[in-house]
Structure formats: C-alpha cells, structure tokens
Structure 1
Amino acid sequence: MTHKLYYDDPYIHSFSSNVLKQDKDETGNWYVVLQETAFYPTGGGQPHDTGTLGDSNVINVEEIDGEIRHYLDKELCHLTNVEGQVNWDRRFDHMQQHAGQHILSAAFEELYEYKTVSFHLGKEFLTIDLDIENLSEDKAQLVESLANKIVREGRLIETRWVSNEELNNYTLRKEISVKEDIRLVIIPDFDYNGCGGTHPLTTSQVGVIKILGWERQNKIIRLQFICGNRVLSQFQSKHRILTEVSQLISSPEEGIKETISKLLENMKQQAKCLEEVKDQLLIYEAKDLMSLESYREDDIIILCKVFDNRPISDLQKIARYITDATANSTTLFVTDFQNRMQILCASGEDSSINSKEIVSKALPIINGKGGGNARLAQGGGDLAISKKLLLEKMSELVYPK
C-alpha cells in the first residue's frame, strides 16, 4: 500500500517517490500509483489535493480498492522515480476549513448539544447540517464567539492512531464507523473526533471562523460558514463592492442602507406613475380602435388588429376596455412577442361570440396552448404563419364565409 506522507506531515510541499503503476481507468483517464505520496485523496468531506507529478498535472486523487490513484492530464514519461509538488494554497485552505469545521461543530455541541450530522467543504464556502429544526441569531452568534475564542487560544491540534478498544478512553463527538486504523483529531479539553483529513498544528492557524447564514431543509438546519483566508478574501470582495456602491450613490458607507431604501421607494413610485401613464395610453389606443371598427355582423361589432412585438398584457387591457365600453363588441388580436405568436379574443356581455371556443380552434394552427373563458381567452404558439393570415383565419372562425 502507498505510504501516506500527508499523515506524517500535513505541511509537506514536495516529495519524490517510485512509480508502482501507471494505467488508464475504464473511462480512459491516466493515473499512477506511487510508493509514497503527499497528495491527499478525496474523502471524509475534504476534497483532493492538486499539483504536479513530473511534467504532468495532478487533476484528481482518489483511493480505490486500497490504492491511491493520482489522475493526470497526460501520461507520465518516466516510470521509475518522479518528483511531486502539492498545490500548497489549496492544501492549506482545506486544512483551515476542515479544522474550522471541527471547532464550529464542537462549539454547537458544547453550548447547546446540537449535533452535526453531515459536512461539506465546497470551493467557496462550507456547510454543516445540524440535527435541529430552528436556529436563532443569538445562539449562532454565541457559538461563533466560542469557536473564535478557541481559535485565538492557539490550542494544539493533535492526531492519534488508536485501536477500537482504546476508544473508551475518549469522549467522542460522534460514533466511529471503522474498527481498525482509527485516527483521532483532538483539540484537548474541547473536541475529540475521528477524522482522516489534514489539519494545521494549532487552532490559531485556522485564523477566524465566520458564519454566513443558514436555512431549514426538511428537519435540519444547513449552516454556511468560512474560515481563515476565505474570510479575508470575502471581506476584501465585499469591501470593494461597498466602496463602489458608496461612490455610485454618493453616500458614505454608514448611510448606504438608508440611501438605497430611499432610492428603491422612489423607483416604486416612479414605476407606479409610469404604469398609470401607460394605462392611459392604452385607453387612448383602445378608443382609436373603437373608432375604426373592422366590421359588423348580426349587430356584433368585430374589431380585428395585428400588433408588432406587443406583450399579451397590453392586448388584454385594450380588449377589456373595448368590451367594457361596448357590450356588443368582440375583439380579435394577433401579435408576435419574444419569438412567439400570441392571440387574444375578448367579447362583451351582449356579444354572442364565445372567446374560449374561438381561441381553442385557432391555437392548433400555430401548435399553441392557451386558456381563458367565454369573455376573454388567449394563447401562444409557433410563428407558423403570418400574423395577417392568422387573423383572417380567426375572423373566419367567428363568421365563416
């Protein structure tokens, strides 16, 4: 079996090793197995390391059937001894995040006996699932404070290999699932946990722990957080955005919230005014259409119109105004909007035309779908024929020639 250098020294950056095997997996990807390695394989919630082996890039590391496979972007040329280089920034980030998760989970259990049931270390943030249904802001802040207190104290983070029988000597945070090769990660007098991941030597190297938020999922709370250098990166990003927004709205940072609230309120008022003006314009448009009635059949006024790139909501308002003002009218409208043909039929109270029946018969022409009632119906479909020809066919459905 490959000797795991990352357990001897998680801070190892480079190493050399004999190549035991080079092969392709079932999907055709090259991988090598080494006599010893500093590359951590995916496992225990921690992602794999990356780096280089010789002149090949290590893009994935997995432990399969007892062998650690280093997946490469290309075949290794030399199959004897190879130099390995671990991407240290990625490795140390994972060490900070993983240790931070131990501390935060232990803090939840220390203060409130909230157990962590799962953990995920993502590219941007981490999540833990807590076996609770609700979490208050006050409790989250107290847990975060305790976790950062443990970080500032710079406590040792110890690792220890123990037998199954020796587990009785420790108060573990969760039950161990394996019976041999048991590795404990220990923060004395605070956290005792079975773990196969990489961690820094002291809690102070975690830097800082920051809870970002949480949400309820079924019967658990999924909590997001970040640690170490990720906190600094996010602070820098948010500070840059805050500065840009402050300059954009000409407001000092402490007044941004109030200024934006006022801007949003003004936008709402302006949007309301614009909507009222638009409605008035649609009324004028409806009146113009009423003065240009298309034709009359059996005392029913039929108004037909083709529109260009108009939303169906506009057509609905125009049609409602016409049919409300003229009870014996029926409108037939066709428009093209966002690459779809859309049709509408509306009938006044004294009209004998059933709008839903007309639209239902017209929709198959454009492979469309729609709905409505006898007074107003609409639908949309493909741009299968011209708008003018479609309107003619709808007119024939009202009064066949």
Structure 2
Amino acid sequence: MTRKLYYEDAYLTEFDTEVRKVDQDNSGRYYAVLEETAFYPTGGGQPHDTGSLNGLEVTDVEEIDGEIRHYLSERFPAELITIHGSVNWERRYDHMQQHNGQHIVSAVFQDRFGVPTTSFHLGKDTVTIDLDTDNLTGELLRDAEERVNKIIRNHLEIEAKWVDVEEANKYPLRKSLSVEEDVRLVIIPGVDYNGCGGTHPQSTSEVMAVKFLGWTRNKKQVRLEFACGNRVLNKLEEKHRIVTDLKQLVRRPEDELTSEVNSILLESKEKDRKITELEEQLIKYEAKQLMSNIPADGVVYRVYKHRPIKDLQSLGKAVVASGDIEYVVLVSEQEDQLQFVLAHGDAVEQNLNHIAKKIFPIIEGKGGGKPNFVQGGGKKLIEADELVTKMKQAINDCE
C-alpha cells in the first residue's frame, strides 16, 4: 500500500517518491499510484488535495481498491520512475481549519445542547452540518458560537494517533466504532474524541475563528452553515466590500442603511403600483381608440413594432371587454419573430384554436389558449401585414 505521508505530517507539501503504476480508469482519466504520497484523497467529508507531480496538474485524488490514485491532466511519460510532488498548501490548510472547526462545533452542540451531528459537508465556500433537531433559536446559536470560539482561543493541542479498538474504546468516543482493525483517533483534550481520517492542525488556535452563517430545515433536521479560519476573514472582506459599495449609492451611516434601503424599496413598490394603474388606464384608452373605427368585416386589427406579447394580451382583453366586438387581431413584429393575439367577443362561438393551427405552419410557430382568446408566435417568414391578412382569411374560412 502507498505510504500516507499526510498522516505522518499534515504540514508536508513537498516530497520525492517513485511511481508504482500509471493507468487509465474506465472514463479514460489518467492516474498514477506512488510509493508514498502527501496528497490527501477525498474521504470522510473532506475534499481531496490538489497540486502537481513533476509539473503535471493533479486534478483529483481518490482511494480505490486499496490504492491511492492521483488523477492527472495528462499521462506521465512511460519511462518516468522518480517524481517530485507538490501539494497546494492553501487548499490543504483551509481544509484542516474547516474540518477541525467542524469537530469543535459538533462537540459543543452535542455536549452542551444534546444535539448530535448526523452529516458533514466541507464545501468550497462554507461548511454545513446536519443537526438532529427541528429548530435552533438565536440565543442557542449565540451561546454555541461563543463556546466554540472560546475553545479555539484556549490553544488546545490536537493529537492524531493510530490505536487498536481496545485502546480506542477507553476514550469517551463520540460514536461507537464499527471496525475491528486499528483506528485513527483525533483528540482535542476535554472537547472531542473522534475516529477520523481527515487532516487537522496541531492546535485549536489555528482554526482562528468560527462564524455561524445561518440555518435551514432539512428533512426534519436542521442544516447549519458556517465558516472557519481564513474563510471568516474572506467573508468579512466580502461583506465589507458590499457595504462600502452600498454606502456609495445610499449615503447614510452603516447603522442607518437597513432602514434607508427599506424606505427606498417601499417607495419603489408604490411607484410600481402607480405605474401599473397608469398602464391599465392607457390600455383602456387605446382599446377605445381601436373600437372607434371597426372595419366592415368586423375584424379590428393593428400591427406594432417590438411590442411585448404581454401588452398585446392586455390590449386584446381590453378590446373584447370594451363592447360588442367580433374579432381582434394584434401582431407584434420583432427582429426575427412575429407574435400575435387573436380574440373574439361573446357573440362569436368560433374556437380560435382551430384558426391558430392554420396560422402556425406559416410562421413555424406555436401557441394556444382558450376558445375565445389565443396567443402565439413564430419565425418572421412573412411580413406582419401579410400575417394579419392570412389570419383574417382563416377567420372567414372557418365561419
């Protein structure tokens, strides 16, 4: 088996070793198996390391069938025997901070509040754990966060060691062991004793800080989201940048931004309401204008340029509702499309879907609606005026 240097020294990022095997998996990805490696493979909720082998990018690391596969951006030269590995330290250390932070958070929730952790996910930007409860109060979260950060500040030594099952069971383990072979324990004295295969720092102080970001209900449990270490600083920088940009738009002190933005949103909603009322009045006026000059064939029509289909629908309904009307045809000509609305009054019994089906092939279009009101659109294969003519002809043919 490959010697796992990441267990011997989680801070090791440069190493030299020999290649044992170069191959492809079933999906065609090239990978190498080494005599020893500092690359951590995905497992236990912690993502894999990245880096390079002799300058070739390591894109993924997995432990499969007892061998640690280093997936590469391209195949190693066949004659290559000795290689140099380099682990991306920024990614590794971030994972060490997040993983150990999760141990502390889970320990506090279980020991202080009797809420165990059922799952853990270390994401790209945040960490989430599922807690076996259906609710978290603000007071509980503040208490838990304070206790977690106090443990971090206490600069407790973190020990990781391999022991047999008999010795492991002498510790107050958070979960009972389901294996019979040796197990790796991660120990934070007085805080957490856990079987864990992940990488961890030497002291809780290296976690730096933990900040809870919020929670949601998830399948009768609670999913808590948080960030640890340098991610907390990144989140602070991100929020500071947003607040700074907002202050350029809303020139108020930070403690007044929320009330000021809320006031702006209320004013905007009121303006939107008034605009909607004015648009409705305008549509009614426009409908009366169309009704003022009804052609002899009883088909009111109009062609527009770049008018939204939503406007055509509103106008069509207003025309039908405004009086005794037989048919109304409204067409909007877009850059490379034609859209239309076809409606009739209550005195007409024609199903307009039958007429629309005759029109759609002409413009390679689609649509539909109720018997008295249909809408649709398609390609601009003919001029808008010609489409109106064909729709009027289809109306006459169906009567």
Same fold per superposition (TM over 0.5): yes
Q: TM-score, normalised by structure 2?
A: 0.91
Say which SS state the counterpart of residue 85 (structure 1) adopts. Answer: strand
Q: CA distance change for structure 1 residues 135 and 81 in 2, over 3 Å: closer, same or farther?
A: same
Q: What is the aligned partner in structure 2 of residue 398 from structure 1?
A: 395
Residue aligned with 1:400, SS: helix
How much has 1:127 moved relative to structure 2?
Answer: 1.2
SS at match of 2:172: coil
Which residue is 2:367 aligned to? 369
CA contact (8 A) 2:172 2:193 kept: yes
Matched, 1:286 2:284: no
SS of the equivalent of 2:120 reads strand
TM-score normalised by structure 1 residue count:
0.90
Q: SS where residue 397 of structure 2 aligns?
A: coil
2:9 equivalent to 1:12: no
1:377–1:17: structure 2 CA closer, same or farther, 3 Å change rule? same
Deviation at 1:391, TM superposition (A): 2.4
Tell me which residue corresponds to 2:56: 56
Which residue number in structure 1 is paired with residue 164 of structure 2? 163
Partner Cα distance (2:335, 2:137) in 1? 45
Query: Is the Cα contact below 8 Å between 1:347 and 1:354 reproduced in 2?
Result: no
- Residue 87 of structure 2 corresponds to 86
CA distance in 2, matches of 1:169, 1:135: 33
The match for 1:223 is 224
Could you tell me whether the CA contact under 8 Å between 1:32 and 1:69 is conserved in 2? yes
| SS of alignment partner, residue 295 of structure 1 | coil
The answer to whether the 8 Å contact 2:156/2:203 transfers is yes
- How far apart are the structure 1 equivalents of 2:396 and 2:75? 76
In structure 2, the residue matched to 1:323 is: 320
Per the TM alignment, residue 383 of structure 1 is displaced from its structure 2 partner at its CA by 4.5
1:74 matched to which residue of 2? 74
Q: Which residue number corresponds to residue 128 of structure 1? A: 129
Identity %: 46
Instruction: Give the conservation status (yes or no) of the 8 Å contact 1:322–1:329.
Output: no
Q: Which residue of 2 aligns with 1:181?
A: 182
The alignment of Structure 1 onto Structure 2 pairs a total of residues equal to 396
What is the deviation of 1:206? 0.4
Indicate how the Cα distance of structure 1 residues 385 and 174 shifts in structure 2: closer, same or farther if over 3 A, else same: farther
Cα distance per residue 1:134-182 (max 9 Å; x no partner): 3233222222222111111111211121222333312222233332131
Q: Secondary structure at the match of 2:198?
A: coil
Asked if the contact 2:353/2:368 (under 8 Å) is kept, the reply is no
Q: Give the aligned partner of residue 27 of structure 2.
A: 27
Find the residue that maps to 2:169 and give its secondary structure.
helix
RMSD: 2.4
Contact 2:247 2:253 in 1 (8 A): yes
Task: State the shift of 1:86 in Å.
Answer: 1.5
1:349-385 CA-partner distances (Å, limit 9, x unpaired):
34454545544654565441322243x3333445455
CA distance in 1, matches of 2:265, 2:380: 39
In structure 2, what is the Cα distance between the partners aligned to 1:51 and 1:193?
A: 29
Instruction: Between 133-142 and 346-355, report the one with greater CA deviation.
Output: 346-355
Point out where structure 1 has 5 or more consecutive residues left out of the alignment: none
Q: Which amino acid is 1:16 matched to?
A: D
